[in-house]
Amino acid sequence: MLVLLGLVAYPVGLSLWISLHKMSFRKPKDFPFVGLDNYTTALTSPEFASALSVTLKFSLASVVLIVAIGLALALLLNVPVRGRGVLRALVLVPWAIPPIVNATLWQLIFDSHVGAFNGLLMQLGLIDAYRSWLIDPNMALVIVVLAHAWNHVPLATIILLAALQAIPRELYEAALVDRTSRFRVLREITMPWLLRPIMIVMILQTMGALRAFDLFYVLTGGGPGTSTTALAWLTYQTSFVYLDVGMGSTYSYIIMIITFAVALFYIRGLYKRGDVE
Amino acid sequence: MTFFNSKALNRRKFLAGAAAIGVGTTLPLLQSRAAFGADVALEFEGWNYDPEFQTQIVTEYTAQNPAVSVNFIAEPAAQYVPKMIARFIGQNAPDLLYVRDQTLAGWADAEYIRPINDFPDWEEHVAGLIPFHRAGLEYEGKVWGLPYYGDHIAYIYNSDILEKAGIAAPPVTWAELADQSLAIKKAGLIERPFAFPLKSNAGLHWWSAVYASGGSLFDAEGNPKFPDEDTVALQLLEFLVHAAQELDILDQTSVQMGTAEGRLALAAGQVAFASSARYDLKVINDPATSKVSGFAKQVLFPSLTADGPHGTVGWTQMFSISSNTAHPDEAWDVLKYISSQDVAKRYYLKNGVGYAYEALDNDADIAAETSKWSDQGMFAKQGALAKPREYIAFPWAAEWEDFHMQQMQEAIVGRKTARDAMLASADKAIQLKKSS
């Protein structure tokens, strides 16, 4: 209990206290109480609005992509074919790669001078010269989403595959006897059984996406302009580059509140389905 | 029966054993300490540029001064400032440390570091410094350390590419640079021959371009003079946007380019023109690290008009003593040694990194070394026109510069006009100044 208080409650409480003060490491002796001023400043600033918009776009796109690909792979790996064990092991590989290494890998893939993606498009005759994909404000965010999804799809796949294997075989056998179409089997049997695990995947992935930082740090540095400045990157910049820890703590709390609200939203969804007591 | 399998292993035996182990492991350390004879142990911390050299220097010092031991620790450069601040806040700062020009004002205001004016012989150690480097050590009328190194942003061109494109002389103005880039492009040598580092931490290059054209961004109180009171910044950004979007001569990766990436692009022969730290010429002209060895040349920084003044940004990084050191006199003695003219000369000969001592401008060894990879005359000429960024003492400087570079990127990629980007940047400066 004491360890929990010391390692979790104290720092969390202290950062909340700091977020109610004007505090900069440039002037550590000045520590005036400003109440909710930092929160008002954050919520009315164009930088925050832009970062929130980037974060929401990134989170939405990532979660949709991860759930869709994860589900497709889980369904595929659930089919009894030769070499299924090897395929299941292979699908886990991206998950084993540390996020910072993953980011560096994708940076190399999309490099404007030596990137494999440019090489592939050139060989297919789709472009006539190498392009700088990461300087295109729209493409930059798409690439970050792809890199994030690649790293996180395996977890979604494993959770959904485990759920698929828990579906009673009798249901499928009954459907087979009734000559039910594959689509109907998916819609009437598989998907209802998968809804709860999908919800769990969505909660985990949304929380991860809202707090994503390493990909932005390595791949785009928040740019070009502010096109990939997500909330986590803004928090890092504010706290560790501008040394404004009062404002940085405020941003951290806003991220926490958003994450908490999203988690509550999902859990309420589960309650409505009667899956959570 | 051994000690450990004895049934009589009671608390007394356990404590006696633990004490014996403690004494056994500590005694050799105490003995070696005594043999070393150091009465004072100092911690010295810096970022990780050639830490072997710094370790060698402090080893030499401690060999001559056995009463003092100095432990040099090198931190990753990107994490250096936050790490040091965490140590300052935790009252656990090293006795001696590197201080960046951008952090001097903030660290002095916060009383993290102490001025050297308190030490009796300080004046003789700043007497022979190049004036701009001497100024770089000062803040609020006090001197806060002694120089580690100092240099300026150089404009570099690839003479081989220019020759192949039939260009007789390097550019003096941005208009000439655009014409030459078009000629290089037309000759099929490089598609986009010109790079301009615009990454968020690459403000030095932008300031250099502003100074080269005789511009100024802020008045003494920190009020922005751009885009209308002083139009240089706006004209420069308009030129860059024109070069990127209409002439298509600006390397597309410029918006992601910092000093390191610019140096790599020059060394790889991917661009013919770019600014870089002057000492990077040593690496760019080294056949072991460059494809264009021998062809990278320095020219005065281009300006909007031929009459210049072709200035640039210079900077001074320093060694300082932390406020909470328990051994200020010993730290001062080490400081004088590590920042001496002799050490600065050795550092230059090894790495090509600039010095702050006027006398070294006429040193035969320095001239001979420079001639291997650069032009000492051009080094001195551009160095004489260098000056520090004028806003560096404002507490909001880093935040504004990041925002400003983002605005420049927005203009280059076509999401804003140059004027809107400049107006947004000026508004941000006013807002930051007001809230600081």
Q: Which is higher by pLDDT, B175 or A85?
A: B175
Q: Are A229 and A50 in contact (CB under 8 A)?
A: yes
In a 3-state reduction of DSSP, which class is residue B427?
helix
Q: B250 - beta bridge partners?
A: B194
Q: pLDDT digits over B189-215, tens only?
A: 999 999 999 998 889 999 999 999 999
B152: confidence class by pLDDT, cuts 50, 70, 90: very high
Query: What do you get for the CA distance between the two ends of chain A, in Å?
Result: 27
Cβ pairs A/B, distance under 8 A:
80
For residue A19, count CB atoms less than 10 angstroms from its CB and return exposed for 0-12, middle for 13-18, buried for 19 or more.
buried
Omega prior to B395 cis, within 30 of 0: no
Q: What is the CATH number of the domain that holds A161?
A: 1.10.3720.10
Position B237 scores a pLDDT of 97
Q: pLDDT digits over B82-137, tens only?
A: 889 889 988 899 999 999 988 898 889 889 999 999 998 999 999 999 888 998 89
Residue A244, sorted as left (phi over 0), alpha (psi -120 to 50) or beta, turns out to be beta
CATH number of this structure's domain B6-151+315-387: 3.40.190.10
Residue A263 pLDDT exceeds 90: no
Percent of chain A with pLDDT over 70: 97
Do A241 and B256 count as a contact with CB atoms less than 8 A apart?
no
Give me the phi and psi of B69, to 5 degrees please.
-110, 140
Do B395 and A224 count as a contact with CB atoms less than 8 A apart?
no
Cβ neighbours of B268 in A, within 8 Å: 113
Q: Are A43 and A250 in contact (CB under 8 A)?
A: no
| Stretch B336-348: mean pLDDT | 96
Is A160 within a domain?
yes
Task: Write the DSSP assignment of B260-307 as a string of letters.
Answer: HHHHHHHHTTS-SEEEEETTHHHHHT-TTT-SSTTTEEEEPPPBSSTT
Q: B320 - beta bridge partners?
A: B97
B14: confidence class by pLDDT, cuts 50, 70, 90: low
Residue A64 pLDDT exceeds 60: yes
Is A145 within a domain?
yes
Q: Which is higher by pLDDT, B310 or B12?
A: B310
User: Any idea which of A12-16, A26-30, B244-248, B265-269 has the lowest mean pLDDT?
Assistant: A26-30
Q: pLDDT digits over A227-260, tens only?
A: 999 999 999 989 888 888 999 999 999 999 998 8
Give residue A111's domain range.
54-221
Kindly give the interhelix angle for B232-245 and B418-435, rounded to the nearest 10 degrees: 140
Position B20 scores a pLDDT of 57
| Rounded CA Rg of chain A | 23
Position B12 scores a pLDDT of 60
Cβ neighbours of B412 in A, within 8 Å: 224
Do A28 and B402 count as a contact with CB atoms less than 8 A apart?
no
Position A156 scores a pLDDT of 95
Is the CATH number 1.20.1260.10 carried by domain B152-313+393-435? Answer: no
Two tokens at B40? 């004072």
Query: What do you get for the CA distance between the two ends of chain B, in Å?
Result: 74
Count of domains for chain A: 1
Give the gap in angstroms from C-alpha B145 to the nearest C-alpha of chain A.
Answer: 19
Rounded Cα gap, residues B286 and B297, in angstroms: 13
Position B29 scores a pLDDT of 45
> What ipTM score was computed for the predicted complex, to two decimals?
0.73
Position A136 scores a pLDDT of 86
Give, in degrees to the nearest 5, the angle at Cα B142 between B139 and B144. Answer: 75
Q: What is the mean pLDDT of chain B?
A: 89
In a 3-state reduction of DSSP, which class is residue B149?
strand
B27: confidence class by pLDDT, cuts 50, 70, 90: very low
Position A179 scores a pLDDT of 87
Q: For residue B200, give the nearest of A25, A136, A223 by CB distance.
A: A223
Give the gap in angstroms from C-alpha A205 to the nearest C-alpha of chain B.
Answer: 29
Give me the phi and psi of B408, to 5 degrees please.
-60, -45
Percent of chain B with pLDDT over 90: 73
Position B312 scores a pLDDT of 96
Is A47 within a domain?
no
Rounded Cα gap, residues A212 and A99, in angstroms: 10
Give, in degrees to the nearest 5, the angle at Cα A138 between A136 and A139. Answer: 65
Do A136 and B413 count as a contact with CB atoms less than 8 A apart?
yes
Rounded Cα gap, residues A79 and A83, in angstroms: 11
B interface with A, Cβ–Cβ < 8 A, is 82, 85, 88-89, 106, 109-111, 191, 199-200, 252-253, 255-256, 268, 270, 395, 398-399, 402, 406-407, 409-410, 412-413, 415-416
Position B432 scores a pLDDT of 86
Position B302 scores a pLDDT of 98
Two tokens at B373? 């990879």
B11: confidence class by pLDDT, cuts 50, 70, 90: low
User: What is the Cα B315 distance to its own chain's centre?
Assistant: 7
Q: pLDDT digits over B55-84, tens only?
A: 999 999 999 999 999 999 999 988 898 889
| Stretch A255-276: mean pLDDT | 77
Residue B385: closest CA among B286, B280, B313: B313
Query: At A125, which amino acid appears?
Result: G
Is A270 within a domain?
no
Cα→Cα distances A121→A110, A130, A208, B252, Å: 11, 9, 31, 18
Give the gap in angstroms from C-alpha A62 to the nearest C-alpha of chain B.
Answer: 24
Do A240 and B402 count as a contact with CB atoms less than 8 A apart?
no
Q: For residue B82, give the nearest of A134, A229, A240 by CB distance.
A: A240
Task: Write the DSSP assignment of B202-232 as a string of letters.
Answer: -HHHHHHHHHHTT--SB-TTS-B-TTTTS-H
Residue B18 pLDDT exceeds 80: no
Residue A142: closest CA among A74, A198, A215, A193: A215
DSSP one-letter code for A134: G
Q: What is the location of CATH 3.40.190.10 in chain B?
A: 6-151+315-387, 152-313+393-435
Residue A19 pLDDT exceeds 70: yes
Residue B6 pLDDT exceeds 50: no
Q: Are A266 and A197 in contact (CB under 8 A)?
A: no
Q: For residue A226, give the nearest of B109, B268, B406 by CB distance.
A: B406
Rounded Cα gap, residues B155 and B300, in angstroms: 6
A277: confidence class by pLDDT, cuts 50, 70, 90: very low
For residue B205, count CB atoms less than 10 angstroms from its CB and return exposed for 0-12, middle for 13-18, buried for 19 or more.
buried
| Stretch A156-181: mean pLDDT | 91
Residue B5 pLDDT exceeds 50: no
Give the gap in angstroms from C-alpha A230 to the nearest C-alpha of chain B.
Answer: 14
Residue B145 pLDDT exceeds 80: yes
Do B413 and A112 count as a contact with CB atoms less than 8 A apart?
no
Cβ neighbours of B85 in A, within 8 Å: 25, 243
Rounded Cα gap, residues B141 and A56, in angstroms: 49
